[in-house]
């Protein structure tokens, strides 16, 4: 069974299609895209990063994850992308269950999502086009597909005219939009944005979140970690607040920010 999500096609046209294989081989139906059940994470140095986290995120949701530094937001993200494994409880993402995953499943899981980093993570020696294309080369896309879809992704984030520029020739906001195009280019069903506005000016922050909102409107689930409470209030979406490793508020469950 496939997960449906927006696809980037030729000349910037957005169509809907199937992309990601569900390894469970059963209809997702109302199953959450992400589910945390009684998750605990303690690092080797004794830090309790997460305690008894229970959370469900459904297809098409836009979720802000907020909390102070050291609250456990990064660990929450790391468990989603399978950089860390829980000490207790279970994490399920796009049908991949933490307890049943092998090392080989990790790349497969990550191909179902796009990640946007706070520090952009663009390769300085590559052009904007090549930075975005890089994500497609990793999954073995043909040159023909790369040319088509990279252009579409750059048009979507409003950087169609800057394909030949180098990252250092762009503003912080533009660089983050390249990062967003890279996250989108493989048509993921889920976008994880780890403080994407952390290194851009306030005006650009709004543009970035607006872009994420637009991507979400087209069916992609978006999880955005942020410190910026004003931004969260202005966009009025589901908010999950983490403090000392526990979810202390979830607007979907009636919590308030």
Partner 1 sequence: MKPQSMSYLTGEGLKNVWVNRMMSLASVGVLIACMLLIGVAVAFSLNVDKSLGTLQEQNVVMVYFEDGREETANLQSIDEIQHMDNIKDAVYIPKEEGLRAQLEQLGTEYEAIFSWLEEENPLPDGAMVTLSDLSEYDATYNALQALPGIKNVNGSRDVAMMVTTVSRIIGLAGFWIILLLMLIALVIIANTIRITIHNRRLEISIMKAVGATNWFIRIPFIVEGMALGVISGVLTTGLLYLVYSFATQSVNKYYPGQLELVPFRSFYLNLFGIFIAIGLFAGVAGSLVSLGKYLKREGSAFGAIH
Residues that bind partner 1 (CB under 8 A): 74, 77-78, 81-84, 104, 106-111, 114-115, 117, 119, 121, 123, 125, 134-135, 137-143, 182, 186, 194
DSSP secondary structure letter of residue 252: G
CB of 79 to partner 1, least distance (A): 11
Smallest distance, partner 1 to C-beta of residue 74, A: 7
Q: How many CB atoms lie within 10 A of CB 205?
A: 21
Residue 103: HSE in the Cβ half-sphere, 13 Å Cα cutoff:
0
Q: Are 178 and 157 in contact (CB under 8 A)?
A: yes
Closest distance of CB 123 from partner 1, Å: 6
175: left (phi over 0), alpha (psi -120 to 50) or beta: alpha
Q: Of 142 and 203, which has the nearer Cβ to partner 1?
A: 142
- Number of DSSP helices (H) and strands (E) in the chain, helices first: 7, 12
Residue closer to partner 1, measured from CB, 27 or 107: 107
33 vs 206 by CB, closer to partner 1 = 33
In whole angstroms, what is the distance from residue 212 CA to residue 231 CA?
13
C-beta closer to partner 1: residue 111 or 237: 111
Q: Minimum distance from CB of 188 to partner 1 (Å)?
A: 9
In which residue are the tokens 């503003």 written? Answer: 171
Name which of 100 and 138 has its Cβ closer to partner 1: 138
CB of 144 to partner 1, least distance (A): 10
């Amino acid at each position: 069974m496939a997960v449906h999500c927006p696809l980037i096609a030729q000349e910037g046209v957005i169509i809907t299609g199937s992309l990601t294989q569900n390894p469970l081989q059963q209809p997702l139906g109302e199953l959450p895209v992400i589910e945390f059940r009684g998750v605990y994470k303690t690092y080797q140095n004794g830090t309790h990063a997460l305690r008894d986290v229970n959370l469900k995120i459904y297809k098409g949701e836009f979720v802000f994850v907020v909390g102070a530094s050291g609250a456990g937001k990064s660990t929450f993200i790391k468990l989603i992308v399978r950089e860390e494994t829980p000490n207790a409880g279970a994490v399920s993402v796009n049908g991949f269950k933490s307890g049943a995953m092998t090392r080989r499943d990790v790349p497969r899981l990550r191909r179902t999502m796009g990640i946007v980093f706070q520090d952009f993570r663009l390769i300085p020696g590559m052009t904007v086009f090549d930075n975005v294309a890089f994500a497609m080369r990793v999954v073995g896309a043909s040159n023909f597909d790369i040319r088509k879809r990279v252009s579409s992704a750059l048009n979507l984030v409003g950087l169609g005219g800057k394909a030949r520029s180098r990252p250092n020739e762009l503003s912080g906001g533009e660089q983050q939009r390249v990062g967003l195009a890279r996250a989108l280019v493989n048509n993921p069903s889920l976008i994880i944005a780890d403080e994407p506005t952390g290194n851009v000016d306030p005006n650009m922050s709004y543009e970035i979140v607006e872009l994420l909102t637009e991507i979400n409107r087209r069916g992609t689930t978006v999880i955005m970690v942020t410190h910026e409470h004003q931004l969260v209030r202005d966009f009025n979406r589901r908010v999950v607040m983490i403090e000392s490793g526990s979810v202390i508020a979830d607007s979907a469950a009636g919590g308030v920010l």
